[in-house]
Structures are given as C-alpha cells and as structure tokens.
C-alpha cells in the first residue's frame, strides 16, 4: 500500500525540480536577451529606448492611446506639454 506522505513528498520534489529547471532556463534566456541588447548597443542603438519600444509593442493600441492621453494631461498640467510637442515634431521629421 503506498505511503500518502511518500507520494506527497515525491510530488513536492517533482514540482521543486521542475521549477528549478525552469528557473535555470529563465536565467539562460535572460542572459541571451542581455547579449542581444549588448549587440544592439555595439551597433549604436540606444538600449533604453529599445526597452521602451519592446514594452510598447507588448501593449495593444487602445492601451497605448489611453496612456498617451493621460501622459499628455499630466504634462499639460505641469506646463511641459510644449516640450513634448517639440519632441514629437522632431521625431516625425
């Protein structure tokens, strides 16, 4: 007859080992991503902006538009909106 504690212990051990393997894979992938950012930096790209682009691409268009509207409202309230208008004009050129 199987020992209930032994089964639970084996299941727990299996979960822990799976998580440990996945954590190692996650670390490997994070290192790979870091290497790609390093390559991009070496080619002259701004990695801070690349990270922002990646974050923006994860969001759907409606979410981005809402965030832009709130950002615009905050900047206007702080008197900074003219600075952002200049930035957007230069970026469009």
**pLDDT tens readout for residues 16-51:** 999 999 999 999 999 999 999 999 999 999 999 999
3-state secondary structure 9-43: HHHHHHHHHHHHHHHHHHHHHHHHHHHHHHHHHHC
Residues 6+ apart with CB under 8 A from 64: 56
List, for residues 43-80, the tens digit of each pLDDT value.
999 999 999 999 999 999 999 999 999 999 999 999 88
Q: Vertex 41, ends 35 and 47: CA angle to 5°?
A: 90
What distances in angstroms separate CA 55 from CA 51, 70, 85, one per listed residue? 6, 17, 22
Total-model pTM:
0.67
pLDDT for 6: 86
């Amino acid at each position: 007859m199987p020992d209930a504690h032994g089964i639970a212990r084996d299941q727990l051990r299996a979960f822990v080992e799976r998580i440990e393997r996945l954590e190692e894979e996650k670390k490997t992938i994070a290192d790979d991503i870091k290497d790609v950012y390093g390559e991009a930096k070496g080619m002259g790209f701004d990695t801070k902006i690349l990270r922002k682009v990646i974050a923006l691409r994860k969001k759907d268009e409606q979410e981005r538009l809402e965030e832009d509207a709130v950002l615009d409202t905050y900047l206007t309230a702080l008197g900074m909106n003219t600075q952002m208008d200049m930035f957007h004009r230069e970026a469009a050129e």
